[in-house]
Amino acid sequence: MSTTAEPRWIVYQRERFPILAHGALIAAFSSGAVCYSAQLRAARDGTAFSVRGASLVVAFLSCLLFFFQLRVSDEHKDFDDDLRWRPYRPVPRGLVTLRELTWVAASGALIQLGLALWLEPHLVAPLFAVWGFMALMTREFGVREWLRRHPITVLWSHMLILPLIDLYATACDWMPSGAGRVVSQGLAWFLVASFFNGIVVELGRKIRAPADEERGVETYSALWGARRATLAWLGAMVCTLLFATLAAREVGAAWIVAGLLGAIGIAGAVTARRLVANPVPGAGKRAELISGLWTIAMYLGVGVLPLVARL
């Protein structure tokens, strides 16, 4: 692919952080978190549901930058492997450098800090918590070689960043409102659902047909086999469904979440069965697509659609 006809950063975002695709997922993620927090406040205080437009904007922009920073973290962690096994990627082929990516991520952090101070200065505390954990992830918690031998630990330890980001997104609602904290076990259910949803996405994007496996790329289908990998994927869906329904029950929307995720889960089971029985090239892409739809449905179902149903 020639890159001379367009700016290299446009090429980079298309290949490694497509704004439109990621933006849709992150919009569902952030708006679901903010609206869910607002519903918890309304249920606790017995007041009418209300959400600030500023909270939605700050949560979306901050989360978009968080996920870009995670991409930059991955570029640092994977550089040696990419140089050896995936030289076609933007960084090893010299399209952009790690130093440039670091500066862009740092500029994003300044924007996040400015947004937090503008909306509610107390947001700085959870903001630093996300940054701190992200820094530990980039350093592989100081045990890189040990983690390489324990892929399951890599999976669950790295997914802990998602509840932290979700907590920040919900804080964009309850901190400016003066609520101090959302007094409800619903927030705990929501954060646990976010954790398992992250596992759904991570497994879904690393399940491939044998013909699509790449040398040097550790997919879960290569590590465990297609049957075990798809069973783990479906198991993560079941866990997400359970905790998301518990969270939705706190705001009277359990039926919305159970119905949406149940339907997508059936499609996931059919996809998993076909992938195992007939692993044609490209079959793994279906699991990745369903994981994306699952994510959008989970966050909209818990946070946004209950408001639409009330209206």
Are residues 122 and 195 part of one domain? no
Q: Span 201-226, mean pLDDT?
A: 88
**Same domain assignment for residues 178 and 279:** no
pLDDT value of residue 282: 84
pLDDT tier for residue 3 given thresholds of 50, 70 and 90:
very low
Residue 267 tokens read as 């499609």
| Closest C-alpha among 157, 240, 159, 262 to residue 193 | 240
Domain that holds residue 130: 17-183
Residue 123 has pLDDT above 90, yes or no: yes
Count the residues in the chain. Answer: 311
Please tell me whether residues 137 and 234 are part of one structural domain. no
Q: Give me 286's structure tokens.
A: 């279906």
> Is residue 47 scored above 90 in pLDDT?
no
5 within domain boundaries: no
Q: Using the predicted structure, report yes or no on whether residue 226 has a pLDDT greater than 70.
A: yes
Q: What's CA 267's distance to the chain center, in Å?
A: 21
User: Do 202 and 296 reside in the same domain of the chain?
Assistant: yes
Domain boundary among 131, 163, 183: 183
Check: pTM over 0.75? Answer yes or no. yes
- The answer to whether residue 225 is domain-embedded is yes
The span from the CA of 21 to the CA of 296, in Å, is 11
Stronger pLDDT, 154 or 183, i.e. the higher one: 154
CA distances from 51 to 174, 281, 284 (A): 10, 45, 38
Q: Write the pLDDT tens digit of every residue in 158-182.
A: 999 999 999 999 999 989 987 555 5
> Could you tell me the two tokens for 14?
């298309």
Residue 9 lies in a domain: no
Domain match, 53 and 38 both: yes
pLDDT at 113 over 70: yes
178 lies in the same domain as 211? no
In CATH, what number is assigned to the domain containing residue 134? 1.10.357.140
Domain count, the chain: 2
| Better pLDDT: 297 or 1 | 297
Whether residue 301 is predicted with pLDDT greater than 70 in this model: the reply is yes
Task: Tell me which H or E stretch contains 47.
Answer: none
Q: 247-261: string of b/e by CB count within 10 Å (b at 16+)? A: bbebbebbebbbebb
Is the pLDDT confidence value at 311 over 70? no
Average pLDDT over residues 6-23: 92
CB 294 within 8 A of CB 237: yes
Residue 15 has pLDDT above 90, yes or no: yes
Q: Model confidence over 36-45: pLDDT tens digits? A: 999 888 887 7
Give residue 19's pLDDT band: very low, low, confident or very high (50, 70, 90).
very high
Is 98 inside a domain boundary? yes
- Residue 2, pLDDT > 70, answer no
DSSP string, 79-148: HHHHHHH-TTSTTTTTSS-HHHHHHHHHHHHHHHHHHHHHH-GGGHHHHHHHHHHHHHHHTGGG-HHHHH
The verdict on 200 and 158 lying in the same domain is no
- Angstrom CA distances, 278 to 62, 213, 222, 271, 282, stand at 41, 15, 16, 10, 11
- Residue after which a domain boundary falls, among 183, 199, 233: 183
Residue 232 has a pLDDT of 96
Instruction: Clarify whether residues 296 and 175 are in a common domain.
Output: no
Query: What mean pLDDT, rounded, does the chain reach?
Result: 91
Domain end residue (candidates: 163, 183, 203): 183
- Residue 8 forms part of a structural domain: no
CA-atom Rg of the chain in angstroms: 20
Percent of the chain with pLDDT over 70: 95
Q: Are residues 178 and 216 in the same domain?
A: no
pLDDT digits (tens, 9 = 90+) for 78-97: 998 889 889 999 999 999 99
66-75: pLDDT as tens digits: 999 999 999 9
CB 245 within 8 A of CB 232: no
Q: Please check whether residue 3 lies inside any domain of the structure.
A: no
Do the domain assignments include residue 231? yes
Q: What is the pLDDT of residue 132?
A: 97
Q: Tell me: do 205 and 267 sit in the same domain.
A: yes
C-alpha span between 271 and 284 (Å, rounded): 9
Residue 7 within a domain: no
